[in-house]
Amino acid sequence: MPMPENAALSPTLTLAMELMRRPSVTPDDVGCQALMVERLERLGFHVERLPFGDVENFWAVRGHHGPVLAFAGHTDVVPSGPDVLWEHPPFEPCIDDDGMLCGRGAADMKGSLAAMITAVERFVTANPNHDGKIAFLITSDEEGPAIDGTRAVVEHLREAHERLDYCIVGEPSSTSELADTIKNGRRGSLGGVLHVKGVQGHVAYPHLARNPIHETTSALDALVREHWDGGNSFFPATSFQISNIRSGTGATNVIPGELEVIFNFRYSTEVTHTQLRERTEAILDAHGLDYRLDWTLNGEPFLTAKGELVEAALAGVEEVLGRRPELSTAGGTSDGRFIATLGAQVVELGPLNATIHKVNERVYAADLDTLSDIYEAILGRLFV
Ligand SMILES: [Zn+2]
C-alpha cells in the first residue's frame, strides 16, 4: 500500500513529488522549471530564462562576488513505456511500504533537483550573506538530442563572459549506496559510420566483382586489435566497439556492392578525437579500402582530477554519512561534458542509478533528504 496522502513529507520529498507529477518527457518541461524558478526567486535569485527551439532552460544566480558554484540538472525524463508494466502509475508518485519513492524521474533526476533546491533554501536562510555566488543551470533537454539544452546555455554563458568555477551535476552517480561514488569526469564518445564500396556481381564470377565484406573484415580485425592507449589512473583504456554491420542483398548468389559499419570509441584523456580519426583512417587506407567515413563527436572527455570542488564534495559526503566516496569516470556521457568547457571544476553527485530509464524507477525516499544534507554541506565548505 502506498503511503497515505496526508502523511507528513519532508520539503525535499514534497517538491520531488510535485515535479514528478508533471509528465515532462523530453523536451516538454510541463511547468517543472516554473516551480523551481518560483522557489529560487523567493530566495533572491536573479533568474534568466533561456529558451532555445522547443527547449526550456534557465540560469539563476544569487550573490555578488567571488567564485560561482552552479547546480546543474534537467527537468525532462525519458518516456515511461506502457503504464501496465508499472506497479504504480509512472506520473503519480508515491512512497511504497519499503520507503521507496516510485515514479518516473525519482532517480533521474527530479529527486536531485528537489534536493538542490531545499539545500539552497536552508543554506541561504542560515547564511543570507554567503560568500561566492550560487547558481542553477537547468535544462529540459538532457535525455534527447541535447543540442538546445545545456550546450546552448553554456554557449550563451561563454558569450556573456559568465564565470563558472564549480559545478555539481545531480545525475544519479551512486551505485550500491547513496554517495558511494562521485563522478569526476567522463570518457569521450566518438562515433563513426563507415561505408565501403565494392562491385556487385555473381558469386560464380568473382573476378568480375569486388567483395566489400572480404576487403573489410581484415581492416575491422586490425581496428579491434589496435592498442589505442593504456588509459591512466582516472580512465580505463580507450575502447573501439562495432555496433552494426550491414551488407548483402539477401540472395545467396550475389556478391554485395557495399557494406556499412557503425562503430564507437569511448576514449580517455590519453588520446584526442583527432588522433583517433587519423589512426582509424590510416588503418583503412593500409587495407586499400574504397570508403567514405562519417564521424560524430558525441562528447569530449573531461576530468576534474583534484581541486576545491572535489575536496568539498568528498568532505561533504564524509561529514553527512561518515564514509568517503570513490571517484569514478565510468558510464556514459553527461551534460558535464559541455559545462567543463567553461573551465569549471565538475562533479556529478546524485542518488542510486539502479532503476534509471527503467519501468518502476524508484529511489529510497530517505536518500533524497540525505542528498539534500550533502549538497548543503558542500555549500558550507565552499562558501562559509
Ligand atoms: Zn539524467
pLDDT in tens, 242-255: 999 999 999 999 99
Identify the DSSP state of 7.
S
The partner residues of 183 in beta bridges, in order of sequence, read 328, 348
- Residues classed as catalytic: 76, 142
- Quick check: 6 pLDDT over 80? no
| Ligand 1 centroid to residue 128 C-alpha, Å | 30
- Quick check: 349 pLDDT over 60? yes
Render pLDDT for 131-160 as a digit per residue (tens, 0 to 9).
Answer: 999 999 999 999 888 899 999 999 999 999
- CA 134 from chain center: how many Å? 21
What percentage of the chain exceeds 70 in pLDDT? 98
Q: What is the pLDDT of residue 332?
A: 79
| Ligand 1 centroid to residue 291 C-alpha, Å | 37
Phi, psi of 306 (to 5 degrees): -155, 180
Q: At what angle do helices 11-20 and 110-126 cross, to 10 degrees?
A: 140
Is 367 annotated as a binding-site member? no
Is 88 annotated as a binding-site member? no
Q: With CA atoms as reference, report the closest residue to 183 among 344, 313, 308.
A: 313
| Ligand 1 centroid to residue 142 C-alpha, Å | 7
This prediction has a pTM of 0.87
DSSP one-letter string for 202-263: ETT-GGG-B-HHHHHHHHHHHHHH-------SSSPPPEEEEEEEEE--S-TTEE-SEEEEEE
Is 221 annotated as a binding-site member? no
How many Å from the N-terminal Cα to the C-terminal Cα in the chain?
A: 43
Render pLDDT for 195-204 as a digit per residue (tens, 0 to 9).
Answer: 999 999 999 9
Phi, psi of 65 (to 5 degrees): -150, 165
The partner residues of 255 in beta bridges, in order of sequence, read 201
- Percent helix, percent strand, percent coil in the chain, to nearest 5: 30, 25, 40
Cβ neighbours around 98 below 10 Å, total: 9
Is 108 annotated as a binding-site member? yes
| Ligand 1 centroid to residue 334 C-alpha, Å | 8
Is 373 annotated as a binding-site member? no
Mean pLDDT rounded to a whole number for the chain: 95
Identify the DSSP state of 85.
G
| Ligand 1 centroid to residue 75 C-alpha, Å | 9
